[in-house]
Amino acid sequence: MDKLSLPLPLPDGETEESLFDYLKSYHFTDSSDKNEVINYLKNDFKRFVYTLSLVPQGSGNLLEIGGNPYFTSMLLHKFRNYDLKYTNYFGGELHTQIQQKVNDEGELISFPYWNHNVEESDLPFDDEYFDVVLCCEVIEHFVKSPLYALMNIRKHLKENGTLILTTPNVARLENIAKMISGGNIYDPYSGYGIYGRHNREYNKHELYTLLTHCGFKIESIFSSDVHNNASDSFYPVDKILNLITDIPHRELDLGQYIFVKATKSGEVDKRLPEWLYRSFEEQKG
């Protein structure tokens, strides 16, 4: 499965161990489930590092949407020089709140955030305020309109500002193996409600098409595994991998997550794309 994992782009002077230890050393000051958070770190650590590598060096304003539990945020805090803003959505009305992490030495990092639903209402910031927006592991949770959310983000990005988007790859090798073996690739129901599950996952072509539709220019897009690949437990991979990679453009399409870096640049198509929307009033005229 090594061919599905790209080299990890570590910051200068860092190792995987040093970065992992840094992130693990902090814990929430409230009563959050420490085991759940640490398991999340162990499972997705490489994803946080890939994401950091896409964020330009520089300064200005950066918004991270859905940052909790703030592992990417902590890497941004340590390795970038932006004024960091955060939104999360835990239900209810728009309001501000602060979450904090502390290490054993008492060093505190604060994450003041807006409780805000980006697919329901305008972001609580000025237009063209941000140089960079991160929307990581969020789009797959939307239940209403990813188009509205992306246009919302675009409105608050400066011209030529950067969007970093990551999401699970519906075309990952594990899903293909599951379907061949008769398994189901849909996400289970979640105790965290409708936003606690993946309501729609995407492939690389869909994300490229959707972001271009919304007036973004794709600078880079790739997929990569970030944790153990369980494909062989569903179906022998050596029976399917060569067949899939012989299909044009599929050889770089099988990783567990998709990573996108895009620029606000290009024309916006305000129509609802038929491949993603069906039976909406705008499409019936």
Q: Report the pLDDT averaged over residues 2-9.
A: 86
pLDDT band at 241 (very low <50, low <70, confident <90, very high): confident
pLDDT digits (tens, 9 = 90+) for 63-73: 999 999 999 99
* pLDDT over 90 (residue 1): no
* pLDDT over 90 (residue 283): no
pLDDT digits (tens, 9 = 90+) for 27-70: 999 876 788 899 999 999 999 999 999 999 999 999 999 999 99
Superfamily of domain 2-6+14-268 in the CATH hierarchy: Vaccinia Virus protein VP39 (3.40.50.150)
User: Of 257, 252, 229, 250, which is closest to residue 168 (Cα–Cα)?
Assistant: 257
Residue 116 and residue 97 in contact, taking contact as beta carbons nearer than 8 Å: no
What is the strand order of the sheet 108-115 is part of? 27-28, 95-102, 108-115, 81-88, 59-65, 130-136, 157-168, 257-264, 216-224
> What per-residue confidence (pLDDT) applies to 2?
67
Give every CB contact of residue 59 below 8 A, 6+ residues apart in sequence.
Answer: 81, 82, 83, 131
pLDDT digits (tens, 9 = 90+) for 77-95: 999 999 999 999 999 999 9
CA distances from 6 to 95, 128, 199, 206, 223 (A): 39, 33, 27, 21, 8
Q: Report the pLDDT averaged over residues 91-104.
A: 94
The model carries a pTM of: 0.95
Q: In the chain, what are the domain boundaries?
A: 2-6+14-268
